[in-house]
Chain A
């Protein structure tokens, strides 16, 4: 199980950052993502795998209006 923005998310083997975004339907293009406090760059979303139990923070920058 992962903790994504303080909410649990089912983990699976080989799960990438991109998979987390898809699972949560996080479509906003300007995100800052930390996995266990490590910053993940946008170019690495598809290749960075996440281990079970990780804490993921997906910060959506303010927008709108």
Chain B
């Protein structure tokens, strides 16, 4: 089957240059700013991908200093997520929690970040101790801040301390100024604040693309699920847009530190700012890849046309689209919110990327949305995306199939600083609790949280932003809501725990894992929690049947998390790896790894840094950081087998309706997999058989995966594994592990 054909005549006639503007009060807001500290520094550009210095800012003491990047840092941690973990480890103690002053937010772009010759090279990594999980959370985010930070002279930015007033950190990478300003009257929500600050700090209209703002919104002040918006200036729309560092509540940490915004003004971006060791190889590799996208994308994933929303209808077709809190995998109304609609609703500009040179250009935008609710009712706005996760999480998982409702939910999540994935999963949980009588209107303060009730859904979000009512409880996230509901005696604790889709305190992202044991591990046996960016194995496992044994699944859960970790070390986006493939990919060995693209990454790293690596070295680079992060989790009191436990909804059918909706499948598994006869058994009896079988299989998977990763059966990296990786050079790391190897 091929993708839906694109018919340009069906694209809605929406003026993408029109939207409500917020610049009227700019001068007054600017006049209220008070300089708290200003220093000068010498701007620099990277050499072979590195500036060899990072920037440390304490927002309490106002200390600003440069730190050197050592050769050991580069050898072991590479950059990006690695640098973030390194700085965070040195900043915190085992007793540190998210809202302690010593907790940091670290932003690091990685050595390849900022390249403009290849697609998907504008990413930076954001790390902090998470308010939801109490362990490091990492987010891979687009937008211009990361690359402009690097082109202003820094390989990472550390933010520590807690201010007692709202502040803005401004870095002028052209003039060499770092300034902390009190910002007493600035707008709160990102779509307003981003626009105001971009225009405030740009020196003229031509300077607008050189500004990037990191901000969050009102909900980050009243919830644990706040996210960060990283802006980029859209020259065609002439407006500020955002990409999100969504998971784990880093926006909440940001506001807890009383940071209103980070603003960077970088130099005009050009193709050679990274000063790579071998620009010819980079140019050659980029040209080859751009040609591949141009020729193959129209009949492969159509990322340029639909963005990641292209998989909405595909997930539905394979019974993998979460519906009604992950109970079901498809729904008859999905056609209302699939890519056939979005490709008409989203403005189809020729290039719509979030960094220069990205020919994959998946950053779609829906313009001309007039809001129906909330503080911006009546305003006309542009909504980024919607991407797959937003459509599935805010849409099908909550039974919302009206596309305008979905866009409004998406918009308010973004501007309020709420992670859309988290919000979708926690709202789906609330709606199921409402369906099953665990919640009612009395307990929700009058909100009728029935499936598909977008009005109540939006009101809950507005409450979250105001820090009021049931919205405040929802903003605690699924884990703490479960504890709250159980403590109040509102329902059967087992049922509440079974249907609350979180692991380690982080909400699941939007894929059904019940029929893929490997994906159950891909979600739960992760460092930060159930985000699909470590391993997405459902097709390999469930559909292709490429992973028949526990050892096969364990191998996939060894390789893919390490391969995908590498993107975050260097500043790459994952999408160009396998959302388009070379025409001859099918005839290559290990085609599912897209070997030509793996070689591209090896070549790009080598050509940037001058350090020749192989594809095996790539995995080893990741393994060092991945295992360091696992030990970091253990150091913080987590990171063991018990913390990798999965909610039963992710493993199998919890309720009778769920079982009976796919009874043929489940009955067949009783025969084929368990060797039993389901005839005459009640649904409850058959569900019990499944629970025993599925829980046991998950436990066996844990054994196999831990063994393959060089960990004990309690999930602790062994001393031998640390030695192989060279992590024994860090006595503190060894000491943490030794305490768990008795």
Q: Verify B581–A30 contact, CB threshold 8 A.
A: yes
A62 to B18, CA, bound (A): 38
Q: Verify B301–A30 contact, CB threshold 8 A.
A: yes
Chain A nearest CB: distance from B536 CB in Å?
4
Q: Verify A29–B301 contact, CB threshold 8 A.
A: yes
Kindly list chain A residues whose C-beta atoms are within 8 Å of the C-beta of B543. 5, 26, 58, 60
Q: Verify B536–A64 contact, CB threshold 8 A.
A: yes
Chain B nearest CB: distance from A57 CB in Å?
8
Residue among B314, B532, B585 with the highest chain A CB neighbour number at 10 A: B314
A30 to B585, CA, bound (A): 10
The interface stretch among B464-472, B586-594, B710-718 is B586-594
Q: Verify B591–A61 contact, CB threshold 8 A.
A: yes
Q: Verify A39–B586 contact, CB threshold 8 A.
A: yes
Q: Is A32 interfacial (CB 8 A cutoff)?
A: yes
In the complex, per-residue mask of A12-49: 1 if CB is within 8 Å of any chain B CB, else 0: 00000000011001111110100000010110000000
Q: Verify B538–A64 contact, CB threshold 8 A.
A: yes
Q: Is B175 interfacial (CB 8 A cutoff)?
A: no
In the complex, per-residue mask of B684-703: 1 if CB is within 8 Å of any chain A CB, else 0: 00000000000000000000
Kindly list chain A residues whose C-beta atoms are within 8 Å of the C-beta of B314. 27-28
Q: Identify which of residues 296-338 in chain B touch chain A, using a CB-to-CB cut-off of 8 Å.
A: 299-302, 308, 311, 313-315, 317-318
A57 to B544, CA, bound (A): 7
Where chain A touches its partner, the secondary structure class is loop
A60 to B538, CA, bound (A): 10
A42 to B538, CA, bound (A): 23
18 A-B pairs in the complex with CB atoms less than 8 angstroms apart: A6-B545, A25-B317, A27-B313, A28-B1, A29-B2, A29-B299, A29-B300, A30-B581, A32-B585, A32-B586, A59-B592, A60-B540, A62-B537, A62-B539, A63-B539, A63-B579, A64-B536, A65-B308
Kindly list chain A residues whose C-beta atoms are within 8 Å of the C-beta of B317. 25, 27
Kindly list chain B residues whose C-beta atoms are within 8 Å of the C-beta of A39. 586-587
The chain A residue with its CB closest to the CB of B544 is A59
Chain B nearest CB: distance from A12 CB in Å?
19
A41 to B318, CA, bound (A): 23
A57 to B1, CA, bound (A): 15
Kindly list chain A residues whose C-beta atoms are within 8 Å of the C-beta of B299. 29, 42
Chain B nearest CB: distance from A58 CB in Å?
7
Kindly list chain B residues whose C-beta atoms are within 8 Å of the C-beta of A29. 1-3, 299-302
Per CB-CB distance, the 5 closest pairs between chain A and chain B, nearest first, are A60-B539, A65-B532, A32-B586, A64-B536, A27-B1
The chain A residue with its CB closest to the CB of B317 is A27
A2 to B315, CA, bound (A): 25
The chain B residue with its CB closest to the CB of A25 is B317
In the complex, per-residue mask of B223-247: 1 if CB is within 8 Å of any chain A CB, else 0: 0000000000000000000000000
**Which A positions have Cβ atoms within 8 angstroms of B?**
5-6, 21-22, 25-30, 32, 39, 41-42, 57-65
A2 to B712, CA, bound (A): 43
Kindly list chain A residues whose C-beta atoms are within 8 Å of the C-beta of B586. 32, 39, 41
Kindly list chain B residues whose C-beta atoms are within 8 Å of the C-beta of A62. 536-537, 539-540, 560, 578, 592
Known contacts: A58-B544, A59-B544, A60-B544. The answer to whether A30 contacts B300 by CB under 8 A is: yes
In the complex, per-residue mask of B574-618: 1 if CB is within 8 Å of any chain A CB, else 0: 100011010001110001101000000000000000000000000
Q: Verify B536–A65 contact, CB threshold 8 A.
A: yes
Q: Is B130 interfacial (CB 8 A cutoff)?
A: no
The chain B residue with its CB closest to the CB of A28 is B314
The chain A residue with its CB closest to the CB of B546 is A59
Kindly list chain A residues whose C-beta atoms are within 8 Å of the C-beta of B539. 28, 60-63
Q: Is B402 interfacial (CB 8 A cutoff)?
A: no
A27 to B317, CA, bound (A): 7
Known contacts: A5-B543, A29-B300, A39-B586. The answer to whether A64 contacts B313 by CB under 8 A is: no
When the two chains form the complex, which single residue of A22, A32, A63 contacts B1, counting CB atoms closer than 8 Å?
A: A22
Kindly list chain A residues whose C-beta atoms are within 8 Å of the C-beta of B318. 25, 27-28
Kindly list chain A residues whose C-beta atoms are within 8 Å of the C-beta of B388. 64-65
A29 to B5, CA, bound (A): 12
Kindly list chain A residues whose C-beta atoms are within 8 Å of the C-beta of B591. 32, 59, 61
Q: Verify A64–B532 contact, CB threshold 8 A.
A: yes
A26 to B2, CA, bound (A): 10
Kindly list chain A residues whose C-beta atoms are within 8 Å of the C-beta of B560. 62
Q: Is B416 interfacial (CB 8 A cutoff)?
A: no
Chain A nearest CB: distance from B108 CB in Å?
21
The chain B residue with its CB closest to the CB of A64 is B536
Q: Verify B574–A5 contact, CB threshold 8 A.
A: no
A30 to B597, CA, bound (A): 15
A32 to B299, CA, bound (A): 14
Kindly list chain B residues whose C-beta atoms are within 8 Å of the C-beta of A58. 543-544
Chain A nearest CB: distance from B246 CB in Å?
12
In the complex, per-residue mask of B480-502: 1 if CB is within 8 Å of any chain A CB, else 0: 00000000000000000000000
Q: Verify B1–A26 contact, CB threshold 8 A.
A: yes
Kindly list chain A residues whose C-beta atoms are within 8 Å of the C-beta of B1. 21-22, 26-29
Q: Verify B594–A61 contact, CB threshold 8 A.
A: yes
Q: Is B511 interfacial (CB 8 A cutoff)?
A: yes
